Amino acid sequence: MPRFKIGERVALKGLLREVHSGEAIGTVVSIAPDRHGMDEFDEYEIAFEDSRQLRFRSFQLSHVVLTDDRGARKRQA
Protein backbone atom coordinates (compact mmCIF):
# COMPACT_ATOMS: atom_id res chain seq x y z
CA MET A 1 0.00 0.00 0.00
CA PRO A 2 1.53 3.38 -0.97
CA ARG A 3 2.73 5.70 1.82
CA PHE A 4 1.34 8.77 0.05
CA LYS A 5 -1.85 9.48 -1.87
CA ILE A 6 -2.39 11.39 -5.10
CA GLY A 7 -2.96 15.05 -4.22
CA GLU A 8 -1.00 14.81 -0.95
CA ARG A 9 1.73 17.38 -0.25
CA VAL A 10 5.16 15.86 0.38
CA ALA A 11 8.63 17.16 1.22
CA LEU A 12 11.98 16.01 -0.09
CA LYS A 13 14.36 14.50 2.48
CA GLY A 14 18.04 14.97 3.22
CA LEU A 15 20.36 16.10 0.43
CA LEU A 16 17.47 16.31 -2.01
CA ARG A 17 15.94 19.01 0.20
CA GLU A 18 19.18 20.99 0.05
CA VAL A 19 19.60 20.60 -3.71
CA HIS A 20 16.04 21.73 -4.41
CA SER A 21 16.13 24.32 -1.57
CA GLY A 22 13.24 26.67 -2.41
CA GLU A 23 11.18 23.95 -4.08
CA ALA A 24 11.46 21.13 -1.56
CA ILE A 25 7.67 20.65 -1.22
CA GLY A 26 5.39 19.38 -3.96
CA THR A 27 2.20 17.43 -4.68
CA VAL A 28 1.91 13.75 -5.59
CA VAL A 29 0.44 13.43 -9.11
CA SER A 30 1.06 9.74 -9.85
CA ILE A 31 2.23 6.55 -8.17
CA ALA A 32 4.05 3.55 -9.67
CA PRO A 33 4.22 0.67 -7.17
CA ASP A 34 7.49 -1.24 -6.92
CA ARG A 35 7.33 -4.38 -9.03
CA HIS A 36 8.65 -6.48 -6.12
CA GLY A 37 6.08 -5.09 -3.68
CA MET A 38 8.59 -3.10 -1.60
CA ASP A 39 6.80 0.08 -0.46
CA GLU A 40 10.10 1.92 0.12
CA PHE A 41 10.77 1.74 -3.62
CA ASP A 42 7.35 2.88 -4.86
CA GLU A 43 7.92 5.70 -7.36
CA TYR A 44 6.04 8.98 -7.00
CA GLU A 45 5.78 11.74 -9.58
CA ILE A 46 5.83 15.06 -7.75
CA ALA A 47 4.63 18.37 -9.22
CA PHE A 48 6.28 21.56 -8.00
CA GLU A 49 4.95 25.13 -8.20
CA ASP A 50 7.47 26.06 -10.91
CA SER A 51 5.84 23.49 -13.27
CA ARG A 52 8.56 20.83 -12.85
CA GLN A 53 7.43 17.24 -12.42
CA LEU A 54 10.08 14.89 -11.05
CA ARG A 55 10.07 11.27 -9.89
CA PHE A 56 11.23 10.14 -6.46
CA ARG A 57 11.16 6.91 -4.46
CA SER A 58 9.15 6.62 -1.26
CA PHE A 59 12.25 6.66 0.96
CA GLN A 60 13.23 10.07 -0.50
CA LEU A 61 9.98 11.73 0.63
CA SER A 62 8.31 12.65 3.91
CA HIS A 63 4.87 13.85 4.93
CA VAL A 64 4.32 17.60 5.11
CA VAL A 65 3.48 18.73 8.64
CA LEU A 66 1.16 21.72 8.86
CA THR A 67 1.07 24.03 11.86
CA ASP A 68 -1.75 26.24 13.09
CA ASP A 69 -1.40 29.80 14.45
CA ARG A 70 -0.45 28.51 17.89
CA GLY A 71 2.37 26.35 16.57
CA ALA A 72 0.52 23.09 17.17
CA ARG A 73 1.56 20.44 14.67
CA LYS A 74 -0.89 18.38 12.67
CA ARG A 75 -0.45 16.02 9.78
CA GLN A 76 -2.11 16.83 6.47
CA ALA A 77 -5.39 14.90 6.07
In DSSP terms, which residues pair with 42 in a beta bridge? none
* Percentage of residues of the chain with pLDDT beyond 90: 55
Q: Is residue 66 part of a domain?
A: yes
Q: How many domains in the chain?
A: 1
Q: pLDDT tens digits for 5-16? A: 999 999 998 888
Q: Is residue 32 part of a domain?
A: yes
Quickly list DSSP for 35-61.
TT--GGG-EEEEE-TTS-EEEEEGGGE
Q: Is residue 3 part of a domain?
A: no
Q: Which residues, at least 6 apart from 27, have a Cβ–Cβ distance to it below 8 Å?
A: 7, 8, 9, 10, 46, 47
Q: Is residue 45 part of a domain?
A: yes
Average pLDDT of the chain to the nearest whole number: 85
Domain of residue 54, residue span: 9-75
